[in-house]
Amino acid sequence: MPYVEPIITTFSKSRDLTRQRAIHLYRRWQKAVPTIMEEYRLNFPTAVVRTRIRLEFEKFRNLHDIPAINIALFKGNAEFDETVNCWKQQNHILNYFNEDVEDRGEAGFRLSPVQQHLVDAPNAPISSEFIGKFLSGQN
């Protein structure tokens, strides 16, 4: 299990410095992909993991406010440290890949298959005689 020393938190005052820091963070993520795949036992091709990292960076491409960019970089470094130091579990990593696959619920958020089953459970017919008696309070 690799241990990565955390980077000292710095706040850039110019767009050039924030750009350099963003590129440095992106390169750190891309270099760590083989380690991440091995440590978390991901069954995805390397290209899929690299593309997902790229999409996470693309979300913040249109940020122009320097303090907002600094905060995004701070959070990105924190995520990197947590991921590479194995402070996350495998399901935390897999959630990044499930976002594209899962359906959205009525409220606009995404539901996993287990969550969707729990939502549908009160309306589902009871198929087992034992469970039916149990839920109705019979012995």
- pLDDT tens digits for 96-130? 887 654 444 444 455 556 555 555 555 556 566 77
Q: Provide the token pair at 83.
A: 């991921």
Measured between alpha carbons, how far is 74 from 25 in angstroms, rounded to an integer?
10
Q: What is the pLDDT of residue 9?
A: 79
Name residues of the chain where pLDDT drops below 50: 101-108
Tell me the DSSP string of 77-112: HHHHHHHHTT-S-HHHHHHHHHTTTSPB-TTSSB--
Q: What is the pLDDT of residue 119?
A: 55
Q: What is the pLDDT of residue 107?
A: 44
Q: What is the pLDDT of residue 33?
A: 96
Q: What is the pLDDT of residue 70?
A: 94
Q: What is the pLDDT of residue 20?
A: 96
Q: Please report which residue ranges of the chain form alpha helices under DSSP H.
A: 15-31, 33-39, 46-58, 66-84, 90-98, 113-120, 129-136
Measured between alpha carbons, how far is 36 from 40 in angstroms, rounded to an integer?
6
